[in-house]
Amino acid sequence: MSQDPQQKARRLARALISDMIVYQPEKRQRALAEGRLKDECEEEIKKSWEEYVGQVGRDVAESNPYFTEALNEILAGGQQLF
């Protein structure tokens, strides 16, 4: 059964960002409270983006908002920080 590339990209983006919280919940919470989420999580975001592009392809990754949406909804707790 083939999977729609857009659905795969959306699910992967959400999984990668969710993993960041699972592995470093205190760092995320502290950075969010201090208003430094982008700076504090920059390296993890970069690594997740590279993994995302590697799995879905640059064209798909850059042609949709899924990664940014996942950052805002999941990592930033619904705030529009990215």
Could you tell me what percent of the chain has a pLDDT over 70?
A: 98
Q: Which helix (H) or strand (E) holds 81?
A: none
pLDDT band at 2 (very low <50, low <70, confident <90, very high): low
Per-residue pLDDT at 3: 77
Per-residue pLDDT at 1: 42
Structure-token pair, residue 68: 């940014």
Tell me: the pLDDT tens digits for 8-44?
999 999 999 999 999 999 999 999 999 999 999 999 9
Whether pLDDT at 60 is above 70: yes
Q: Give the mean pLDDT of 35-60.
A: 96
Domain ranges in the chain are 5-74
Query: How many CB atoms are closer than 10 A to CB 36?
Result: 12
Q: Give the mean pLDDT of 48-52.
A: 98
Structure-token pair, residue 25: 């919940």
Give, to the nearest 10 degrees, the angle between helix 5-23 and helix 25-34.
90
